[in-house]
Amino acid sequence: MAAIVTAAMVASAATGTAHLPPGILALLPGALLWFLCGYALYTLAFAAAGALVARQEEIGAVIAPFSMLLVGGCLFTFAAVGPPDALWVRVLSLLPPFAPILMPVRIALGHRAVWETSVAVVLLILAVLVMVRLGARVYAAGVMRSAPRIGWRAALRARP
């Protein structure tokens, strides 16, 4: 993120368009917190998925659902800019897989209620905590196996 911000500032200064919108600096700490929470959620999910495979070639198939959620959230962001108050945008911005991506956009556009941000934060933190527990369980069951790929159900049912 620092590299992107630095590159944007250098490009902006080089082209003479170094004007920042009012209030943008106040949004940066919140955007960083959303990024860190989203990073934690997806990192834990990818780590758990990676523990299920026995061979490196299998990793793509196992992480595909999480990759689709992440890319889908980014695509929803482009669609959400038009109608930021639409019901589907409001609902998706509360759900943990999409909240770290959609909620900062809604906050920046000024189209969110304070309670929506609070609910999204609580749900995201709960999702991270749940993913820590599930990820640890899946990791413990999957990483110690030398057999072929283990499924999600088998990993969650295994005794650590």
* 152 lies in some domain: yes
Q: How many domains does the chain have?
A: 1
Q: Provide CB contacts within 8 A for 142, sequence distance 6+.
A: 48, 51, 52, 53, 150, 155
* pTM of structure: 0.76
What is the Cα–Cα distance from 105 to 107, expressed in whole angstroms?
5
Domain membership flag for residue 12: no
Query: Which residue range is the domain that position 50 belongs to?
Result: 23-157
The contacts of residue 85 (CB under 8 Å, 6+ apart) are: 111
Does residue 5 sit within a domain?
no
pLDDT in tens, 22-48: 777 778 888 889 999 999 999 999 988
Distance (Å, rounded) from C-alpha 155 to C-alpha 160? Answer: 9
pLDDT (tens digit per residue) in 136-160: 888 777 666 655 666 666 666 666 5
Residue 1 covered by a domain: no
Please report whether residue 28 resides in a domain.
Answer: yes
Q: Is residue 4 part of a domain?
A: no
Structural domain contains residue 99: yes
Of the ranges 2-11, 12-21, 101-110, which is most confident?
Answer: 101-110
Tokens representing residue 39 in the block: 């990073």
